[in-house]
Amino acid sequence: MIGVGAVPPLFLAVATLLAMPETPRWLVLHGHHDEARRVLARTTGDAALADRRLKEIVSSAQESSKQAVPGGSDERTRSTSVWRDILIRPTRSVRRVLLAILGLQFFQQASGVAALVLYAPRVFHHAGVTSQSAVLGATILLGVAKIVAIVIPLFLADRLGRRPMLLTSAGGMTVSLLVLGFSLRASPTAHAGASAAWWAAATSVTAAAAFMATFSLGFGPVIWMYGSEILPLRLRAQGTGIGTAVNRVMSAVVGMTFISLYEAVGMAGSFYIFAGCAAASWVFVYALLPETKGRTLEEMEALFDDSANDAVINHVRVQAGAARPGGSL
């Protein structure tokens, strides 16, 4: 069983990574401008657009180098400067970017996905699914729902945008967790009598599968896409590492405390708490995360800088006022 697990990474290493080019930004940072232009031309299909993107990347890389290494090019100095720019003296845009990344990673796991993945048989047994084959089938259904739904963002994320996908995902997660909690409270193991056994079990399995599907629509894959898009080039490696660390720590916390949690507040109460976290994630996305669809990586820092956004808005208003008769706003 463990040996079979070595097949997918072997396939990725041989069939994918060896044929995958370096990113244009990495190539520019290491002085390979011609190769970066070839990669951009291949991915954009437009030589003029590739040249324009290359100029933006070169300009961004030069600015990043100036900010990251104010007193030289020593690698240790660069690393120290990056951590200082992230944790000690971040700019307004970097603070917002870091808040967005940490918030998304926190809420992804705080919604309880690890609890449902790790303890699905126990949850279904509590809901009244007592047959071992039925529990196995319900657990497999969760995996199938997750795999099928995770394909959808591949086709819709660039068409609909990141925010709609995340908001839809958070809303669906909230509703499905509430339904799951309600069905668990109505299960025969929670109350005497078995008249609601079939209804509670079927509803619990359906709600759990719906949670997995809606999770995979946005908060599963899209937060990784969003986080990689918004980090400034000079901070990308460290920022991604911090976000991933928060994600893994929260996953471990949820996984290790779930049994104690449901013993303290009940199985239904646990999923009501997860539903509250999912609802909070909807508010977080709606209030704090801008749409990044169609924006280049070089535009993200200005997008997360309130003062820069205000300047753009004021400029647009002035231009609009000048275009009107009399120049009034």
C-beta separation of 169 from 215 below 8 A: yes
My answer on whether 30 and 120 are in the same domain is no
Which of 59-73, 154-168, 308-322 shows the lowest mean pLDDT across its residues?
308-322
Mind listing the pLDDT tens digit for each residue in 36-95? 898 998 888 888 888 888 888 888 777 666 655 454 445 555 556 777 777 777 778 888
My answer on whether 24 and 148 are in the same domain is no
Residue 272 clears pLDDT 90, i.e. is over it:
yes
CA angle 253-108-104, nearest 5°? 115
Residue 245 clears pLDDT 90, i.e. is over it:
yes
| % of the chain exceeding 70 in pLDDT | 83
User: H/E element holding 5?
Assistant: none
Reported confidence tier of residue 177, pLDDT bands at 50, 70, 90: very high
Cβ-based neighbours of 38, under 8 Å, separated by 6 or more: none
Residue 301 clears pLDDT 50, i.e. is over it:
yes
Q: How many domains does the chain have?
A: 2
Domain assignment of residue 229, given as a range: 92-305
* Residue 311, in any domain of the structure: no
Other C-beta atoms closer than 10 Å to the C-beta of 30 total 12
| % of the chain exceeding 90 in pLDDT | 32
Mind listing the pLDDT tens digit for each residue in 83-113? 777 777 777 888 888 999 999 999 999 999 9
Residue 196 clears pLDDT 70, i.e. is over it:
no
Reported confidence tier of residue 326, pLDDT bands at 50, 70, 90: very low
Reported confidence tier of residue 329, pLDDT bands at 50, 70, 90: very low
Helix (H, G, I), strand (E, B) or coil at 151: coil
C-beta separation of 204 from 124 below 8 A: yes
Predicted local distance difference test score (pLDDT) of residue 8: 83
* Residue 321, in any domain of the structure: no
Residue 2 clears pLDDT 50, i.e. is over it:
yes
Other C-beta atoms closer than 10 Å to the C-beta of 49 total 13
Predicted local distance difference test score (pLDDT) of residue 76: 52
* Residue 313, in any domain of the structure: no
| DSSP 8-state symbol, 4 | G
My answer on whether 216 and 284 are in the same domain is yes
Which of 31-40, 224-233, 239-248, 282-291 shows the lowest mean pLDDT across its residues?
224-233
Reported confidence tier of residue 294, pLDDT bands at 50, 70, 90: confident
Question: What is the Cα–Cα distance from 96 to 92, expressed in whole angstroms?
Answer: 6
My answer on whether 103 and 154 are in the same domain is yes
My answer on whether 285 and 187 are in the same domain is yes
- Specify the CATH number for the domain of residue 240: 1.20.1250.20
Which of 5-9, 112-116, 306-310 shows the lowest mean pLDDT across its residues?
306-310
My answer on whether 141 and 58 are in the same domain is no
* Residue 123, in any domain of the structure: yes
Predicted local distance difference test score (pLDDT) of residue 278: 96
My answer on whether 124 and 58 are in the same domain is no
My answer on whether 192 and 96 are in the same domain is yes
C-beta separation of 82 from 89 below 8 A: no
- Mean residue pLDDT of the chain comes to 81
My answer on whether 154 and 105 are in the same domain is yes
How would DSSP label each residue in 46-65?
Answer: -HHHHHHHHHHHHHHHHHHH
Side-chain-facing half-sphere of 148: CA atoms under 13 Å: 11
**Stronger pLDDT, 199 or 74, i.e. the higher one:** 199
Instruction: Look at the alpha carbons of 14, 248, 269, 100 in this order and tell me if their dihedral is positive or negative.
Output: negative
* Residue 252, in any domain of the structure: yes
Reported confidence tier of residue 316, pLDDT bands at 50, 70, 90: very low
How would DSSP label each residue in 208-270?
Answer: HHHHHHHHHHTTTTHHHHHHHHHS-GGGHHHHHHHHHHHHHHHHHHHHHHHHHHHHHH-HHHH
Tokens, residue 171: 């809303």
**Stronger pLDDT, 195 or 235, i.e. the higher one:** 235
Predicted local distance difference test score (pLDDT) of residue 210: 94
| DSSP 8-state symbol, 192 | S
My answer on whether 229 and 122 are in the same domain is yes
| DSSP 8-state symbol, 19 | G
Burial letters for 293-304: b for 16+ Cβ neighbours within 10 Å, e otherwise? eeeebbebbebb
* Residue 315, in any domain of the structure: no
Predicted local distance difference test score (pLDDT) of residue 66: 60
Residue 307 clears pLDDT 50, i.e. is over it:
no
Reported confidence tier of residue 313, pLDDT bands at 50, 70, 90: very low
* Residue 317, in any domain of the structure: no
C-beta separation of 69 from 85 below 8 A: no
